[in-house]
Amino acid sequence: MEAIEKKITDYLEEGPQSFKDLVRSFEIKKEDRDRFKKVVKRMVAEGVLIKTRGGRFGLPSKMNLVTGELSCHPDGFGFVKPEEGGADVYVNARRLSGAMHGDTVAARIEGIKSGGRREGSIVRVIKRAHKTVVGRFEKARGVGILTPSDERLLYQVIIPREEFGEAADGEVVTAEITRWPAKNLAPIGRVIEVLGNPADPAVEAEVILKKYGLPHRFPADVLHEVRSVPSAVPETEMAGRVDLRARTIVTIDGETAKDFDDAVSIERTPHGYRLWVSIADVSHYVKEGTSIDSEAFARGTSVYFPDRAVPMLPEALSNGICSLNPQVDRLTMTAELEFDAKGSVVKKKFYESVIKSAERMTYTNVKKLIRGEDAEVEKRYSHVLPDIKVMAELAKKLTAQRMEAGSIDFDLPEPQIIIDLEGNVEDIVRSERNEAHKLIEEFMLAANRAVAEEFSRRSYPFVYRVHDEPDADSIHDFLEFASSFGLHFKEGLGPLGFQQVLKAVEGKPEEKLINRVLLRSMKQAVYSEENIGHFGLAFDDYTHFTSPIRRYPDLVVHRLLKLLIHGKYTVEARARMEAELPPVCGHASARERKAMEAEREIADLKKTQFMADKVGETFEGFISGVTSFGVFVELKDYFVEGLVHVSTLLDDYYIFDEKKHSLIGERRKRVLRLGDAVSIKVTRADIERRRIDLVLDEAFAEKPRKKGAPDRRARGEVRKRRR
For residues 399 and 541, state if they share a domain: yes
Rg (CA), the chain: 29
The CATH code of the domain that includes 686 is 2.40.50.140
Q: Are 639 and 589 in contact (CB under 8 A)?
A: no
Contact by Cβ (8 Å): 544, 551: yes
Tell me how far CA of residue 185 lies from CA of 90, 156, 178, in angstroms.
22, 10, 13
What secondary structure letter does DSSP report for 320? I
Residue 441: inside a domain:
yes
The answer on 486 and 440 residing in a single domain is: no
- The answer to whether residue 610 is domain-embedded is no
Residues 613/661, Cβ–Cβ less than 8 Å: no
**Strands 662-665 and 425-431, how do they pair?**
unpaired
Phi, psi of 651 (to 5 degrees): -90, -10
Same domain, 149 and 246: no
Q: How many CB atoms lie within 10 A of CB 655?
A: 17
Q: What is the DSSP string of 700-718?
A: GGGPPPPTT---TTTTT-E
180 with 275, same domain?
no
Rounded alpha-carbon distances, angstroms, from residue 32 to 12, 173, 618: 20, 46, 74
426 three-class SS: strand
Distances (CA, A) of 220 to 89, 174, 291: 42, 21, 10
In a domain, 211, yes or no: no
Q: Are strands 308-310 and 303-305 parallel, antiparallel or unpaired?
A: antiparallel
Q: Please tell me whether residues 255 and 289 are part of one structural domain.
A: yes
3-state secondary structure 185-252: ECCEEEEEEEEECCCCHHHHHHHHHHHCCCCCCCCHHHHHHHCCCCCCCCHHHHCCCEECCCCCCEEE
d(CA 308, CA 318): 14
Please count the structural domains in the chain: 6
Give the whole-angstrom CA distance, residue 396 versus residue 442: 9
- Residue 223: partners with Cβ closer than 8 Å, 6 or more residues away: 314
Euclidean distance between CA atoms 303 and 312, whole angstroms:
8
- 321 falls within a domain: yes
One domain, residues 318 and 411: yes
User: How high is the mean pLDDT in each 10-residue block of the chain (723 residues)?
Assistant: 76 82 86 87 79 78 82 93 85 93 89 80 90 93 92 94 94 95 92 90 85 89 94 94 97 91 97 98 96 97 90 95 96 98 97 97 96 94 96 97 86 80 83 91 98 97 95 80 75 72 79 80 92 94 97 98 96 95 95 94 91 93 90 90 91 86 89 89 89 80 44 39 33
Q: Which of 615, 596, 696 lies closest to 648, judged by CA?
A: 696
* pLDDT score, position 55: 79
Specify whether 115 is located in the same domain as 239.
no
pLDDT at 450: 98
What are the residues facing 353 on neighbouring strands?
242, 332
Q: 445 and 366, same structural domain? A: yes
The number of helix segments (H) and strand segments (E) in the chain equals: 16, 35
Hey, what amino acid is at 592?
Answer: E
- Residue 395 lies in domain: 222-467+532-601
Q: Is there a single domain that holds both residue 247 and residue 342? A: yes
Give yes or no for a contact between 173 and 194, defined as CB atoms under 8 angstroms apart.
yes
What does pTM read for this prediction? 0.84
Q: What's the 3-state SS for 524-575?
A: CCEEECCCCCECCCCECCCCCCCCCCCEHHHHHHHHHHHHHHCCCCCHHHHH
**Hey, which residues does 172 pair with through a beta bridge?**
136, 196
Determine how many CB atoms are found less than 10 A away from the CB of residue 679: 14
Question: Is 90 inside a domain boundary?
Answer: yes
How many whole angstroms separate alpha carbon 266 and alpha carbon 351?
A: 17
Same structural domain, 304 and 344: yes
Looking at 554, 579, 601, which one is the last position of a domain?
601
**Residues with Cβ within 8 Å of residue 111, at least 6 apart in sequence:** 118, 119
Tell me whether residue 217 is in a domain.
no
Residue 237 lies inside a defined structural domain of this protein: yes
Q: Are residues 152 and 193 in the same domain?
A: yes
8 A C-beta contact, residue 147 and residue 135: yes
User: Can you give the CATH number for the domain in which 177 is found?
Assistant: 2.40.50.700
Q: Residue 722's pLDDT is what?
A: 31
Question: Is the residue at 189 inside a domain?
Answer: yes
Name all contacts of 143-151 with Cβ < 8 Å and 24+ positions apart: 144/191, 146/173, 146/175, 146/189, 149/207, 149/208, 149/211, 150/101, 150/211, 151/74, 151/689
Is residue 277 domain-shared with residue 419, that is, in the same domain? yes
In contact, 402 and 421? CB cutoff 8 Å: no
Domain-terminating residue out of 561, 576, 601:
601
Q: Are 31 and 23 in contact (CB under 8 A)?
A: no
